[in-house]
Amino acid sequence: MKNEVTLRQFRYFIAAATTGQFSTAAIAENVSQSAITNAVQSLERRLQLRLFDRLPHGVALTPEGQVFFHHARHVMDAVSDALNHATLKPQVMQGTIRLAATYTVLGYFLPDLLSRYKRSYPNVEIDLIDMDRPTLEVAVKEGTVDMGIGLVSNLKNRDDYRLHTLVRSRRRVWVGAGHPLADQPSVTLAEIARHPYIVLQIDDAEEAAMRHWPDGGKQLKIAMRTASIEALRGLVAYGFGVSILADLVYRPWSLEGKKIIALPIIDPIEPMDVGLLWSPAKEPLGITDTFRQFLIQACA
């Protein structure tokens, strides 16, 4: 019994890894901070390795912790799917769903969910189409796709669609481990603006970034613009600049193995919302509605 691992420990560990702070994880799970700490320490003793680096502003997964995080997520996802879909008869469901998705959704959000869906509904085919936001909006409005999944926080005319937010991802500022801001527990927009800034140019990221500043970002010292998140990671990790991005796309390491730290921002920053989008004139039915409900339950 001494070495028994519980789903509760997995859940607390995932909360700590996702929030980057034991105190924030405790609030999210409605438990004491000591409960989070004890769960993580129990897992570390059981695995005989360190899952987190303890930092001045919180915690960050070690390379071993990152591997364990993915395994823990798969375990909890499998439990969730079993509880939510045990009473259904997936083998009798078949057909094709035409689904449009944007770059960020395809790269950082959807693959694992699609894999889980296919395990539960193996006879349903997903016709997945890569679209930018304006093209996706037109496709949904005209009914050439059954549903779209994109950054609904960037929608121009929200009243033209039915939507359901699946994930709300906070935005933090990314800095390299050796950056002057790296040792601070949190930063202000004014402090960020004093340093070279790297702008991401995919999925309306530049437009969203400029909205953080009252003057539309005119005060920023823009060092570079790039359409590659991995290039941005490398530039930040090597100290060429900072960037405000959502936790959904955060990874603590660049491709070169350099550390990246995500710091909380004191000023109000709007989150990045990922959501389902469909036409009011074409309410999802049948397998499309089942897919919608699966995503809503999986992301709840």
User: Could you give the domains of the chain?
Assistant: 7-84 (1.10.10.10), 92-162+280-299 (3.40.190.10), 171-270 (3.40.190.10)
Supply the pLDDT for residue 1: 44
Confidence of residue 3 (pLDDT cuts 50, 70, 90): low
| Highest mean pLDDT (candidates 48-52, 53-57, 223-227) | 223-227
Over residues 180-201, the pLDDT tens digits come to 999 888 899 999 999 999 999 9
pLDDT of residue 20: 83
**Terminal CA-to-CA distance of the chain, rounded, Å?**
32
- Give the number of other CB atoms < 10 A from CB of residue 232: 27
Mean pLDDT of the chain: 88
What is the C-alpha to C-alpha distance for residues 31 and 34, in angstroms, rounded to an integer? 8
Is a pLDDT exceeding 70 seen at residue 91? no
Chain segment 119-142, per-residue pLDDT in tens: 888 889 999 999 999 999 999 999
Q: Using the predicted structure, report yes or no on whether residue 146 has a pLDDT greater than 80.
A: yes
d(Cα 61, Cα 64) in Å, to the nearest integer?
A: 8
pLDDT value, residue 179: 95
pLDDT tens track for 99-120: 999 999 999 999 988 988 888 8
Work out the average pLDDT over 68-88: 74
Looking at residue 56, what is its pLDDT?
73
What's residue 259's pLDDT?
87
The residue written with tokens 């004890």 in the block is 38
> In angstroms, rounded to a whole number, what is the distance separating the alpha carbons of residues 113 and 299?
9
Q: Which two tokens stand for residue 37?
A: 């700490």
| 81: pLDDT strictly greater than 80 | no
SS3 160: helix
Q: What is the pTM of this model?
A: 0.76
Give the span between the Cα atoms of 61 and 251, in whole angstroms. Answer: 10
The proportion of the chain whose per-residue pLDDT surpasses 90, expressed as a percent, equals 46
In the chain, pLDDT over 70 holds for what percent of residues? 95
- Give the burial class of 14: count Cβ atoms within 10 A of its Cβ; 0-12 exposed, 13-18 middle, 19 or more buried: middle
Tell me the pLDDT tens digit for each residue of 227-258.
999 999 999 999 999 999 998 898 888 888 88
- CB-CB contact of 112 with 95 (8 Å): no
Helix (H) or strand (E) holding 38: helix 33-47
